[in-house]
Structure 1
């Protein structure tokens, strides 16, 4: 957790994390390289110099390092994992449910493991979702509308083949759907992440909650238009918050727009780990303030209460997490080799 200078404890739930394998040995083709290298450019651009990793470590860091970065050094009490396969680019998948389950196994009380779905997989994908849910017990799933699948280079949530998957989620008791709607990554197509298809499914499935990861950026105004009319749409702030250091004026403009359009009760912090780590973002966010003029424009104060909601309470409420239990968990017990390496550093 984060503790303010005044001794106030603040719950932190990182709502957007991964455990990926971007090593050359896993590349199916050169798109495997260009995809992870685009992420790497983001890491270098956003992350403070003294916190940057080597490119080799960035491509593959493993569950033990993730546990340390999130739960030891990163202030996080819990993390929500969002798998995406990308098997057209990676032989064994990029950030699969099985890969992410390694962190869940290491820190079971702190990790929420979501599933992934690709509605283009038809009956086979529905059977896989049911099987994976039997194994892991998902609360949510991730949709990546820009993912390639054979000759398809993306799809829209309004496509007819999406509905059976949302109905299956409802049937299984999975009521949280994360949708990547943000910046593109080479070689994915920009228009595949257009956020304006969210309102149709949000209206059609009012009992499901849709978390629009990255808040549709750079289409923030479109996202706010959708979320403003759909009370079951939430904004995932992963990547948005990363701008707090590199482009603070841009970050402030986006935050004001989001506070005005959505409000502090439906915004969820995320670091997009491991594009960057949560520690410095949380420190900067807790120090960030809006002046009176900005607050008037935003329609909401960014006070400690609002920061508590955004950093952890909103995600805890969405996922049904026990706040008191999370804030009183014992420290993460790292394996001896990892703990020894951490002490040496």
Structure 2
């Protein structure tokens, strides 16, 4: 468990991937463009001494992920967010079935979300039912700019998408995570526009819409939507690296989010393996707003706020009892394996 100024902070990394962009898995030039664009984000934000080579970035094994996220990475739990990209990759880029292997091995650590694409029709609805039945998913990750045949994207406020959202409500899949952030080459920028969240959130108040990447670069649009929709949340993946590379910009982003959404509707995410959670968690926990920003927005980025953002808000959405989870993690094989078992030991913490 992460320690900040002598205080425990339970961290749930809300945005993890376990992808395969190996050359053997690429079937379309878009797959190569996609992973190289990811890699550009990686090298553009990651401190030089922590950067991976392109080859190790293409596909990493479970041991590497476990060490990066839970060993060196300070996180206590993580939510796996699938991204299929079947037009680009033979076996998919980051599928629920592959991610579920991690959950099966380490259920105390991982949660896996499902996904849907309304262009798949009745077959897609059956697949969503399978995901719920087989993995008991409590959320779905949506990629509205994903290609399918001649289609270069879809909208969350479409009639077809509403049918799937109705199915989510029926199945008890209450957390909807649409990617509404930067474009990844060669996808269409407009297909990631945040505007379609508005009607969907209004029409399905029983669902939570966790807008990943807080709409960047459309932060203002996102904030205005979230201000009027109490079931809209912001996921900090992509925003979080600014805490290290452009701390004043990060202060501005957090000021806007805290002003419009409040501290209860913001969730931390590293976007692993685009970035590793170790340095991101440290940077976010050390982040401060300038005096001018605190005065302008009328908010504080204090420890209690950070506790909510780093784990408590995600725990509420995913029905995680943090204190009970700590007890489970005290017996966790991963903790022992990476030498962090004492972080969950009450007597050690008291010392």
Counterpart residue number, 2:344: none
Q: CA deviation at 1:325?
A: 2.3
Aligned to 1:285: 284
For residues 170-227 of structure 1, the C-alpha deviation after alignment (integer angstroms, 9 at most, x for no partner) is 1111111000000000110000011011110101000000000000000000000000
SS of aligned partner of 2:234:
strand
Structure 2 unaligned runs (5+)?
A: 340-351
Aligned to 1:31: 30
Alignment partner, residue 343 of structure 1: none
Counterpart Cα distance in 1 of 2:51 and 2:58: 13
> Residue in 2 aligned with 1:117?
116
For the 8 Å contact 2:252–2:293, the answer to whether it is kept is no
1:309 — aligned with what?
308
Aligned 8 A contact 2:85 2:93 in 1? yes
Q: Which residue pairs with 1:227 in the alignment?
A: 226
**Conserved in 1, the CA contact under 8 Å of 2:251 and 2:288?**
no
1:32-181 matches, cutoff 5 A: 32-181=31-180
SS of corresponding position for 1:210: strand
CA RMSD of aligned residues (A): 1.7
Report how many residues are paired: 338
Q: Is 2:251–2:290's contact at 8 Å kept on the other side of the alignment?
A: no
SS in structure 1 at match of 2:92:
coil
Unmatched 5+ stretches in structure 1: 341-345
- Give the TM-score normalised by structure 1: 0.95
Distance 1:33 1:332 in 2: 37
Whether the 8 Å CA contact 1:86–1:147 is kept in 2: the answer is: yes
Is the alpha carbon distance of 1:105 and 1:64 closer, same or farther for their aligned partners in structure 2, counting shifts above 3 Å?
farther
Give the drift of 1:130.
0.6
Q: Is the 8 A contact 2:141 2:178 kept in 1?
A: yes
For 1:254-269, what aligned pairs fall within 5 Å after superposition?
254-269=253-268
SS of residue in 1 equivalent to 2:41: helix
Consecutive aligned runs of 4 or more in structure 1 exceeding 4 Å deviation:
none
Match of 1:189 in 2: 188
How far apart are the structure 1 equivalents of 2:335 and 2:300? 42
Instruction: Note if 1:330 corresponds to 2:320.
Output: no
Asked whether the equivalents of residues 66 and 103 of structure 1 are also in contact (C-alpha less than 8 Å), the reply is no
Aligned-partner Cα distance in 1 for 2:239–2:74: 19
Asked if the contact 1:39–1:185 (Cα under 8 Å) also holds between the matched residues in 2, the reply is yes
Superposed displacement of residue 105, structure 1: 2.1
Alignment match, 1:214? 213
Match of 1:3 in 2: 3
